[in-house]
Structure formats: C-alpha cells, structure tokens
Chains A and B, each alone.
Chain A
C-alpha cells in the first residue's frame, strides 16, 4: 500500500497509512447507511476537524496544519476508498473549494469568522457558483449583489451546490459590477441571513452520501465587509483557486482507479470462466495491462501538476491536464472493471457498481472536460 514516489517521505507514508486504517475502520462500515440516508452525518465534519484533516494547507494560526498540497493529494486518494464518494466531496468542498479563497484573500476577521470554524468542522461551508442558466460560463452569471449603505443586497439563485442543504455559510459568486468576468465578486453569505432559502435536495445519479441543492437569494443582506479580496476580482480568484479543486478531483479519480484495480484483481482471480480465472485470459490480461499503464500515467501527471502547483502556485495548464486525463480515464476504468465482473458488476453488492455511478460526474464537476481542453489550448496555443 506504500505508494513510492520521489515526492513522498516518511511523513506522507505515515499519513497515508493512518488514513487507510481510519477509512477502513471508521468510514467504510457506514458507507451503505450514508448512501441510503442521502447524506453523511454532520458529525463527520467535526471528527475530521479534530483530526486536523480540514485544514491541511491552512495556517496554524487558524487551526490549520500549514502543509503543502501533497497532504491533500494523499487525503483524497485514501478517502475515496470508503466506497462512498460523497464523503470525499462534502469534506473537500469544506476544506478546499469553499475555503481556499478565504485563506488566500480573506481579511483576518473573515478568517476568524469563517475559515477557523470551517477548519474545526464547526461550520459547514459550500461554494455557490453554478446557476440554473450558467454553469461553465462563470463570467456570465446572473446572481447580483447591489451595494446599499453598509450592506450587499443579494438576489438570484444557484444550483448543484454540494453541502447546500446544510451549509452554515456560502462562498458565493455574485455580480457586483457590470457585465462579464470583471463584474463578478465573491461574498461570504451566512445561511441564517433573512431571504436565503434552500430548495429541494436534488436527486442524483451517484455520490449519494453528499447533498446537493438549489439555493435562493431574495434581498439577502450581508455586511460589505463580507466581500472577499477586491470587488470585481471574483472570477480571477475562482480561476486561480480552482487549481486546488481540480487537483482534488484528479486525486479522487486516481484513488478510485486504484480501488477499482484491486476489485478487478480480487474478482478476476477468484472467478473462473472456461476453466481459467478471468485474469488468466489473454484478452483480459492485455486490457488490464493497458489500463494499469494509463492509470500510472494519470497518477504521475497529477503528481507533476501538484509539484508545480506547490512550487509556483500557478499551474493552470498542468492541473487542467491532470483533471482532464484522470477524470476521463476513471470512467473507462470503471466501465472495464464492471465488464470484467459480468452480471455481478451490475449488482449493488459489488463495489464496482457504485463506483461506476459515482465517476460519471468526474468529467463535469469542478470544470467540465471541455472547459479543461479550452484552458489547455488557450495556454498552449493562444
């Protein structure tokens, strides 16, 4: 289980080993229950906060661990082994997607009020960008925040918001200025503010243990001091900080591929067809050899992107490549491993069945595969 890499030293190995045991003993036994409930329990945020896993990259001053992205990569690769991807999604929205902007651009007051309690798992965070009318086209979003005295007055709606039914605050993208990317700002919105409401929890194909919701804002007032960084810089912040989010998705994909590989070997060695274990047939041996080769390429590309992100904080192209490649590949791996299981793979009893559903969103969330190609092409071709 030790994943050897020039990037990992003893601390990373021990962190992985600890997570592996923790996930196996404390999370996996509950996976079915949480999938059926449509949500993992809120206590998990607190438990993870206590272990220090919600603030891996954040400063010690606010309760974080002050570490680099490698620890996030290891966390993501191991978390998905609980066989309930929603757990990873909910927790990483909290620890990376909704909070990294506060860490980077927030004021000390914002960090005390929002970041520190999120790191401790006492407040649940969500990231509100996608709207019913605008998903990929973030620069065109329609939710508005109008200045009125010392308040922002927010109107509009968001959809597909993970942690949306239970968040204590939303890191919200809203239009504070004119049309286009330069009119967008990020504002921290407590969900107990008047005029905020949560629509239905949306029913989805997979990631059943995480909640996802529509959010409505009707004349919601928050103090002007809740704007993060500078007004009109929201789009730029989102693009910058999505690097972390995309690294998370790529690492989830790598972790799931590893788990799927193990499922394939376990099943393919035990099940005999025409007098040979499945993995004894050359047709499967070659297919699996191809998959393993591509899996390794995905992992190394992700590690390459992580290394660059750690060192330069600017790795748009590399992180987009890792996100694109790993998140597309994981769908093919899931499909192949399901096929290897025959009819059993289609049954809920086998982990591959749930993995197959869960990975369907990998080419969509955190920027679609098409958007990844746009980013890569823009940087590489101009």
Chain B
C-alpha cells in the first residue's frame, strides 16, 4: 500500500562553521548551511518506507528564499518533490509561530504520515513537531529509533530510547513521528540524484498563499523573545598534574574534591 509521506526539514548552519553574532542574531552571510541531521534521519526513514511500500516523499522546509539550495539536497537524495514555505513575514518566529506556518501548509498537502527531527541542532527547541501535532490534532511519537508499519497500513509501531530503556508505542495513522539518532543515517546522494535535483518540482507558498495572518507568524507572532545571545564562554585550558602515579592521583583527588567539587 503506497504512502504519502511528508518530511519536515530545517536548514541549519553547518556545525563546522564558525558562528558569529550580531544584534542578538547569528550572522548568516558566508555561512555554509546543511539539512538538520535529525531531520535527515527522518527523511531517510521516509525514503525507505516509500522504497518498501511505494508512494512518495514530499520535503517541507520553512526558511528564507536562499534555502532552495538546501531543499535541493533533499531532492538529490530522493525526495520526490518539495514545498518551500518562505515569506519575509515568517522570519524571526519562535517554535509556536513556525508551527503555525507548517500546520497551515500541511492542511494543503495530502499525507499518511509525517517525519521530523526530534529537535534541530541550531536552537535545540524540540517543540515544533509537537506543536504541529497539536494544531492538526494528530497523534505523535517523539525520539523514534525503530519504526515499523503494520501489515494493514493503519498503525505504526515505534521504539523510543528513554533513559537507557526502550519504550515501545503504537499509534494509528496519520501521525507525526520525530527521529532520534540511531534511526538511520541519511544515504549519500547519487550523481544521478545530484544532477536531477533541479528538475524536481518545488512549490513556493507564502503567508498569503496559506491564508495566514502575518501578525500570527514570524517575529510578529512570536511569544518567545531573545534577550541576549552570547557565544559559549571559552573553555579553560586543561591541567596536567605532574609527579608519579601515586602523588598525581592524590593531587587529582584533592582537585576534584576541593576545586571542581565533583567528589
């Protein structure tokens, strides 16, 4: 039985990029962008499911106009088409505002299930897919590391990793699932995939196309306000404790106890 699967993706700075801040925001000029890795795990699962059962994968990404290049990475690895949600009014949104945009778009896209990353590595909010589930009144299972569809195609069985335990959940479809590391790495795009990405359709929707009130999205609709954004403090240099094993061990124990107060 074929499935329509949506993969929600986010464009994030490459973790190897050097991040600079200006006016409480990350400077995006000159940054190299990638697909968020958690979103990639979800996309990989979506591609596998379609390989097994048939159907199609639609990549959905909310991001600025120049995010097209990142969207095409999803098309290069095998997504069939994509929806780009882009409008200056969407920018600067918090998790709630972005979820409103995604939910409005998902009302226009037929789907049987939705994959998303469990969080994105840039802001680590871990809120958007849950909020989308709430807005669309869908069941959701987060941090999935194993996933199987029942033979009748109506339910899914998920394994989640929680505090070293394995939590097994089943849910009816349609539903939203969020991917955790361990679900499976995204495949490499083949050359054919790379060369063919530009030929696959990307639908552009802005606030007007989705019938969204611009006051409810982006910075205007955000309840969450960034007061100050700072780079993490530089790590203090490591310490080498000299001496033979016995004296060094004693000194180490003393430092751990008195200075860092760990023991």
Q: Is the interface of B mostly helix, strand, loop or mixed?
A: helix
User: Chain A: which residue is nearest B191 at the CB level?
Assistant: A52
| Residue among A1, A11, A22 making CB contact with B194, cutoff 8 Å | A11
A15 within 8 A of B: yes
Q: Are A14 and B190 in contact (CB under 8 A)?
A: no
CB-defined contacts of B92 to chain A, threshold 8 Å: none
A225 within 8 A of B: no
Q: Are A18 and B189 in contact (CB under 8 A)?
A: yes
Q: Are A1 and B32 in contact (CB under 8 A)?
A: yes
Distance of A66 Cα from B191 Cα, bound (Å): 11
**Other A-B pairs beyond A14-B194, A71-B191, 19, CB < 8 Å:** A10-B198, A11-B194, A11-B195, A11-B197, A13-B69, A14-B73, A14-B197, A15-B191, A15-B194, A18-B189, A18-B194, A22-B188, A51-B188, A51-B191, A52-B191, A52-B192, A53-B191, A56-B191, A67-B195
Residues facing A in B196-211 (CB within 8 A) are 197-198
User: Chain A: which residue is nearest B185 at the CB level?
Assistant: A25
The 0/1 profile, CB within 8 Å of B marked 1, for residues 49-89 of chain A is 00111001000000001010001000000000000000000
CB-defined contacts of A52 to chain B, threshold 8 Å: 190-192
Known contacts A14-B72, A52-B190, A65 near B195 by CB under 8 Å:
yes
A273 CB, nearest partner CB in chain B, Å: 17
A109 CB, nearest partner CB in chain B, Å: 26
Q: List 17 A-B contacts (CB under 8 A).
A: A1-B32, A11-B197, A13-B69, A14-B72, A14-B73, A14-B189, A18-B189, A21-B188, A22-B188, A51-B188, A51-B190, A51-B191, A52-B192, A65-B191, A67-B191, A67-B195, A71-B191
Distance of A56 Cα from B194 Cα, bound (Å): 13
Which residues of B approach A to under 8 Å, CB–CB?
16, 32, 69, 72-73, 76, 188-192, 194-195, 197-198
Distance of A368 Cα from B188 Cα, bound (Å): 37
User: Chain A: which residue is nearest B77 at the CB level?
Assistant: A18
9 A-B pairs with the lowest CB-CB distances in the bound complex, closest first: A52-B191, A65-B191, A14-B194, A18-B188, A11-B194, A18-B189, A10-B69, A15-B194, A22-B188
B240 CB, nearest partner CB in chain A, Å: 14
B31 CB, nearest partner CB in chain A, Å: 10
User: Chain B: which residue is nearest A56 at the CB level?
Assistant: B191
CB-defined contacts of B189 to chain A, threshold 8 Å: 14, 18
CB-defined contacts of B188 to chain A, threshold 8 Å: 18, 21-22, 51
The 0/1 profile, CB within 8 Å of B marked 1, for residues 270-309 of chain A is 0000000000000000000000000000000000000000
User: Chain B: which residue is nearest A10 at the CB level?
Assistant: B69
B30 CB, nearest partner CB in chain A, Å: 10
Which residues of A approach B to under 8 Å, CB–CB?
1-2, 10-11, 13-15, 18, 21-22, 51-53, 56, 65, 67, 71
Distance of A185 Cα from B23 Cα, bound (Å): 69
Distance of A56 Cα from B190 Cα, bound (Å): 12
Distance of A51 Cα from B191 Cα, bound (Å): 7
Distance of A5 Cα from B169 Cα, bound (Å): 50
Q: Are A10 and B72 in contact (CB under 8 A)?
A: yes
User: Chain B: which residue is nearest A14 at the CB level?
Assistant: B194
Distance of A153 Cα from B72 Cα, bound (Å): 54
Distance of A53 Cα from B190 Cα, bound (Å): 9
B95 CB, nearest partner CB in chain A, Å: 28
Known contacts A51-B190, A51-B191, A52-B190, A14 near B32 by CB under 8 Å:
no
User: Chain B: which residue is nearest A25 at the CB level?
Assistant: B185
A170 CB, nearest partner CB in chain B, Å: 28
CB-defined contacts of A65 to chain B, threshold 8 Å: 191-192, 195
Q: Are B76 and A14 in contact (CB under 8 A)?
A: yes
CB-defined contacts of A22 to chain B, threshold 8 Å: 188
Distance of A51 Cα from B188 Cα, bound (Å): 9
Distance of A13 Cα from B190 Cα, bound (Å): 14
User: Chain A: which residue is nearest B190 at the CB level?
Assistant: A52
User: Chain A: which residue is nearest B196 at the CB level?
Assistant: A11
Distance of A1 Cα from B32 Cα, bound (Å): 8
CB-defined contacts of B192 to chain A, threshold 8 Å: 52, 65
User: Chain B: which residue is nearest A71 at the CB level?
Assistant: B191
B190 CB, nearest partner CB in chain A, Å: 6
B71 CB, nearest partner CB in chain A, Å: 11
CB-defined contacts of A1 to chain B, threshold 8 Å: 16, 32
Distance of A268 Cα from B16 Cα, bound (Å): 19
A355 CB, nearest partner CB in chain B, Å: 21
CB-defined contacts of B72 to chain A, threshold 8 Å: 10, 14
User: Chain A: which residue is nearest B30 at the CB level?
Assistant: A2
CB-defined contacts of A18 to chain B, threshold 8 Å: 188-189, 194
CB-defined contacts of B69 to chain A, threshold 8 Å: 10, 13
Distance of A336 Cα from B165 Cα, bound (Å): 53
Q: Which one of B16, B189, B194, B197 has the greatest number of beta carbons of chain A within 10 Å?
A: B194
Distance of A15 Cα from B72 Cα, bound (Å): 12
A51 CB, nearest partner CB in chain B, Å: 7
User: Chain B: which residue is nearest A22 at the CB level?
Assistant: B188
Q: Are B32 and A2 in contact (CB under 8 A)?
A: yes
A277 CB, nearest partner CB in chain B, Å: 13
User: Chain B: which residue is nearest A64 at the CB level?
Assistant: B191
Distance of A21 Cα from B76 Cα, bound (Å): 15
Distance of A158 Cα from B241 Cα, bound (Å): 60
User: Chain A: which residue is nearest B76 at the CB level?
Assistant: A14
